[in-house]
């Protein structure tokens, strides 16, 4: 069982005969009244996204989710193909299932595919990835009024905020859980 007060991004639970995965959550403690948890949840089977508030003391059964390490192969016609390294089985997933991880995955990268009763429903990128910067503006010496950061586009198309000294062509390490720059490699 998982209580609504323990909700975090990626937690899966059963409610009303369906399985839901948490996309976003926010614990709210108003000045008056009881605390509550505001969430955005995705129905794992249908893909529908719903906004719902929960009482933090509500409890739900945790869904049994299987995870497998798979290799991202390629994209073809809106489907993204992943291969199991042991059985060499390939599975196609649609954009909604890979949307979060796709910002950090290149072809041939490994990722964790989450499934429920044999049906894949989401992909999780590794916690840290190393990507090359393909586009960024040059930093100017003494330009620290804006916090000494600038946007940079990496080879997968994601836009990351990086320090001024990072230049086009540099390879950087990114924390995929937060989308933050970690260091130059």
List pLDDT tens digits, range 99-115.
888 999 999 999 999 88
- How would residue 97 be classed by pLDDT, with cut points 50, 70 and 90? confident
- Whether 2-60 and 66-124 share one fold: the answer is no
Domain boundaries, the chain: 2-60, 66-124, 128-184
Whether the predicted pLDDT of 58 surpasses 70: yes
Assessment of whether the complete model's pTM goes beyond 0.75: no
**Residue range 39-46: average pLDDT?**
85
Going through the chain in order, the beta strands assigned E by DSSP cover 2-3, 12-15, 18-28, 36-43, 49-54, 59-60, 66-76, 79-84, 90-94, 110-116, 119-124, 128-136, 149-154, 159-163, 171-175, 180-184
Report the CATH architecture of 66-124: Beta Barrel (2.40)
CATH number listed for the domain at residues 2-60: 2.30.30.30
CATH number listed for the domain at residues 128-184: 2.40.50.140
């Amino acid at each position: 069982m998982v209580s609504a007060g323990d909700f975090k991004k990626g937690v899966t639970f059963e409610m009303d005969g369906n399985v839901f995965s948490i996309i976003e959550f926010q614990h709210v403690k108003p000045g008056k009244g009881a605390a509550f948890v505001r969430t955005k949840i995705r129905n794992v089977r249908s893909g529908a996204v719903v906004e719902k508030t929960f009482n933090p003391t509500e409890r739900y059964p945790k869904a049994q989710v299987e995870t497998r390490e798979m290799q991202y192969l390629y994209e073809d016609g809106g489907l993204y193909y992943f291969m199991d390294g042991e059985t060499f089985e390939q599975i196609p997933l649609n954009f909604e299932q890979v949307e979060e991880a796709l910002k950090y995955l290149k072809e041939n990268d490994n990722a964790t595919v989450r499934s429920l009763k044999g049906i894949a429903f989401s992909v999780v990128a590794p916690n840290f990835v190393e990507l090359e910067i393909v586009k960024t503006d040059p930093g100017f010496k003494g330009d620290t009024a804006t916090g000494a950061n600038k946007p940079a586009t990496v080879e997968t198309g994601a836009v990351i905020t990086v320090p001024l000294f990072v230049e086009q062509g540099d390879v950087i390490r990114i924390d995929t859980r937060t989308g933050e720059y970690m260091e130059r490699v």
